[in-house]
A = this chain, B = another copy of it.
Amino acid sequence: MTEDSPIDFLVALASLPYEQLPAKPLRLARQSLFDWLICGLAGKNEPVAQIIHTYAEAESGPLACASLFGGDMASPRLAALSNGTISHALDFDDTHFDHVGHLSVGIFPAVLALAEKDDLSVAQMSSAFLVGAEGAIRLGMVLGVSHYNCGFHQTATAGAFGATMAAGRIAGLDAEAQLRALSLCATFASGLKSQFGTMGKPLNAGLAAANGIEAVRLAQVGFSTARDGVFGPQGFVETHTDNPDLSALRSDVTNLSDFSFRFLSNRYKFHACCHGLHAMIEGLLDLRARHSFTADNVARLELRTAPRWLRVCDVKRPATGLEVKFSYVWLAGMVISDRATGDDRTYTDVLAADAGLSNLAARVEVLGDASVGDQQAEGTVFLRDGRSLPFRHDLAHPIPAEALRDRLRQKARAVLRDEAGPLLELADGIYDAPETVSARQLGALIRRRG
Number of copies: 2
Q: Closest Cβ of chain B: how far from A34's Cβ, in Å?
A: 5
In angstroms, how far is the closest chain B Cβ from the Cβ of A272?
Answer: 9
Q: How many of chain A's residues touch chain B, expressed as a range?
A: 35 or more
A194 in contact with B48 given A25-B130, A224-B199, A344-B42 (CB within 8 Å): no
Given A11-B178, A64-B61, A169-B14, the answer on whether A226 and B195 have CB atoms closer than 8 Å is yes
Does A122 touch B at the CB level, under 8 Å?
Answer: yes
Q: Which of A95-139 contact B (CB under 8 A)?
A: 103-105, 108, 122-127, 129-135, 139
Q: Which residues of B contact A57 (CB under 8 A)?
A: 68, 72, 74, 78
A200-B224 in contact given A42-B92, A43-B89 (Cβ < 8 Å): yes
Query: A226: which B residues are within 8 A, CB to CB?
Result: 192, 194-195, 198, 200
Instruction: Give the residues from 191 to 208 in chain A that come closer than 8 angstroms, CB to CB, to chain B.
Output: 191-195, 198-200, 202-204, 206-207
Contact B187 A203 (CB under 8 A): yes
Which single member of B93, B153, B448 contacts A36 (CB below 8 Å)? B93
Q: Which residue of B lies closest to A15 (CB)?
A: B175
Q: Cβ of A183: which chain B residues have Cβ within 8 Å of it?
A: 7, 194, 200
Q: Which of A257-265, A301-309, A374-382 lines the interface with chain B?
A: A257-265
Partner of A22, one of B16, B161, B261: B261
Complex: A89 Cα to B127 Cα, angstroms: 38
Does A321 belong to the interface (CB within 8 Å)? no
**A300 contacts the other chain (Cβ, under 8 Å)?**
no
Q: Does A394 sit at the interface, judged by CB under 8 A?
A: no
Question: Is A328 located at the chain interface by the 8 A CB criterion?
Answer: no
A29 to chain B, nearest CB (A): 4
Indicate if the CB atoms of B64 and A52 lie closer than 8 Å: no
Give bound CA distance, A258 to B23, whole Å.
Answer: 11
What is the chain B residue whose CB lies nearest that of A242?
B242
Chain A window 72-97, contacts with chain B (Cβ cutoff 8 Å), 1 for yes, 0 for no = 11110011011101111110111000
